[in-house]
Amino acid sequence: MGVAYRILDGASRAYNKLLLLPALRRSFAECGHNVTLGRHSEVSGAGNIYMGHDVYLGPRTTLLTTRAKIRIGDYVMSGPNLTVISGDHRTDILDRPMMTLSDEDKLPENDQDVIIGDDVWMGSGVTILKGVHVSDHCVIAAGAVVTKDIEPEFSIWGGVPARCLGSRLKG
């Protein structure tokens, strides 16, 4: 079983690197050089996603957008299971099941751009929700759920919901 698994795993990696990732990069609104999206990742709304240079998003990353944009700066990295969602669902329509509501039913405030600055490190299992701006040079700890802007620059955030834990600057 070990040899067969390694052969299949190698074939899967080659497929991702040679076929899937190049096609995905072409579908982004913008995509810099040296962008890597980890295995088993999911992207929806690629035409509204803007990737900088030297970006590594770990395995099982999920980027979901419809009308709003997701902008990821230069030199950004994440651990596995990053989730970035630029939209929300309406909960005020009570005469229909929420599951039946479509993108056309949304209000403008249901979708808001997500902007991740340059030199940002997001740990494993980070979730970033609609309307969030992450300042340059920040760290977001593993498992954090980010519901508001991450500032100032060089700050360290973590928790559910995420809050400022400190600074990368000494002194």
* Active site amino acids: 89
3-state SS track over 70-123: EEECCCEEECCCCEEECECCCCCCCCCCHHHCCHHHCCHHHECCEEECCCCEEC
Closest CA to 31 of 42, 46, 41, 16: 46
Cis peptide before 22 (omega within 30 of 0): no
Spatial strand order of the sheet with 145-146 comes to 42-44, 62-64, 83-85, 127-128, 145-146
Distance CA 67, CA 85 (A): 11
CB contact set of 50 (below 8 Å; sequence gap of 6+): 28, 29, 30, 31, 69, 70, 71, 72
